[in-house]
Amino acid sequence: MALRDFALLVFVCLLWAANNIVSKFVVAYLHAPPLIYAALRFALVALAVFPWLRPAPRPLWRLLIIAVCMGAGSFAFMFIALKTISPSSSAIVAQLMVPTTTLLSFLMLGERLSRRRLLGMGMTLAGALLVMWDPHGLTIATGLLFALASVIAGSLGAVMMKQMEGVKPLTFQAWVGLASFAVLAPLSALTEPGAVSKVIEIGWPFWGAVVFSALVVSVFGHTAYYWLIQRYEANLISPLTLMTPLATIGLGVVITNDPFDARMAVGAAVALAGVLIIAMRPNQIMLVLLNLRNRAR
């Protein structure tokens, strides 16, 4: 990978990590209603890339389901989760999207599950459960369940996306923005009374977060990521995106004072190792291990 492109990927991962921190700040510290925050975010995305709505990809019904799963479902559930859980915990639980997508691809598309992928799925699940487990009792925090719902919605959308061809990144983002806003706006009106007054009361910090999340993170960040995916193999790009949860954990500890004990450290390491096993080919894994061994000498 060219140094310029690697630097771009690092920047995109840092943007995604920063967005996790910003979202936590908005819903937990500014007490903004999460659904209206998500709705306005997607409204701005839709406005920014509105010219790419046409021509509409076919079948449109499938695209709308995908858009709602990967947009409204994934983001709204995560914003609700961030009201009560730390960005670090959410970043680790979010890694379940890789094995969940792999499992759904097997169930829905008939893709092969190798022993290596099963091992990676088991490790990722074990690591995430270690983070989610409450050492004071056999309970899982409600926020973590919402984070898990976000993972499932995003994974379902990703698998269904594999059944569509020729959808341009900006066209997809336009439909995600439009469909998600159409779902989230009425849901916010029904379940978040006084939401509009609340965001007006919060003022510019809220609107700054919406602009950052919609234009910088979604429009720029995701478009840059799709551009990189088109230039390089997914097996190269996917493992490198593990910089996002690592950066989220680091920023969470520094900025929002996330608790990060030995249990979470072990869980994060096991989960991220499982993701690497799923995402990388066997020869790539051996190359990484050989490089680590040589550097240790």
Q: What is the mean pLDDT of each run of 10 residues along the chain (297 residues)?
A: 80 90 92 94 92 82 88 90 85 78 79 74 73 55 84 86 77 90 94 92 93 90 78 63 78 79 75 70 46 40
Residues 123, 130: contact at Cβ < 8 Å? no
Whole-angstrom distance, CA of residue 258 vs CA of residue 219: 28
* CA atoms of 233 and 211, how far apart (whole Å): 31
Amino acid 90: pLDDT: 83
For position 280, what pLDDT does the model report? 60
Residue 286's pLDDT is what?
43
Which residues touch 277 (CB under 8 Å, ≥6 apart)? 116, 117, 119, 120, 123, 285
Confirm if 171 and 46 have CB atoms less than 8 A apart: no
- Residue from 17, 22, 16 nearest 205 by CA: 22
Cα–Cα–Cα angle for 233, 105, 151, rounded to 5 degrees: 90
CA distance 287 to 293: 10
- Cα(8)–Cα(269) distance, integer angstroms: 25
H helix or E strand, kind and range, residue 128: helix 115-132
Return phi, psi of residue 5, to 5°. Answer: -70, -35
